[in-house]
Amino acid sequence: MAAEAANLQLNGGASTSTGSFTMVSGLGLPLPNYSVEYLRKRIREEIDERCTKHFAKHFTENEFGYVCNVCYRLWFLEDVTPTSKNGKFLSVLRAEFPDKDVQASNLCGSCERSLCNSKKSPLSRTNGFIYPDRPDLPSLDPISESRKLN
């Protein structure tokens, strides 16, 4: 009775025991006996592999330094949309930036959402959102330079 209690039948064919389990396939063929530790290790490896691929796709292979032509913030390539892909923004952009070639512009998600509603982006340069000029600072001495990297 105790042995039967240790090997409970689950889901019409999968039985479990302490430390490892045996599964029976839909064809009635036994599947390999895997320990719980082995399965945990495989799951961790799978998660690590997927996280590494995600990081590589979104950060390593995704170039940084593309400018949104409305707010002038820097973005990754996948985070900006060329205005040539969506012509409905062009009339609003031409009104906002009459002296610019808006056909060759890039938009970040925030500015794109504002333009979808036919509004100016709150972060637009035409609303006064302008980064200050970079100040002229003296060059750093070697000690300060090494502390900056930490």
Instruction: Give the domain ranges of the chain.
Output: 64-127
C-beta pairs of 54-60 under 8 Å, 24+ apart in sequence: none
pLDDT digits (tens, 9 = 90+) for 41-68: 999 999 999 999 999 998 888 888 899 9
pLDDT digits (tens, 9 = 90+) for 106-130: 889 988 888 888 777 888 888 877 7
Give dist(CA 144, CA 147) in Å, integer: 5
Residue type, 40: R
pLDDT digits (tens, 9 = 90+) for 78-111: 999 888 777 777 778 888 888 888 888 888 998 8
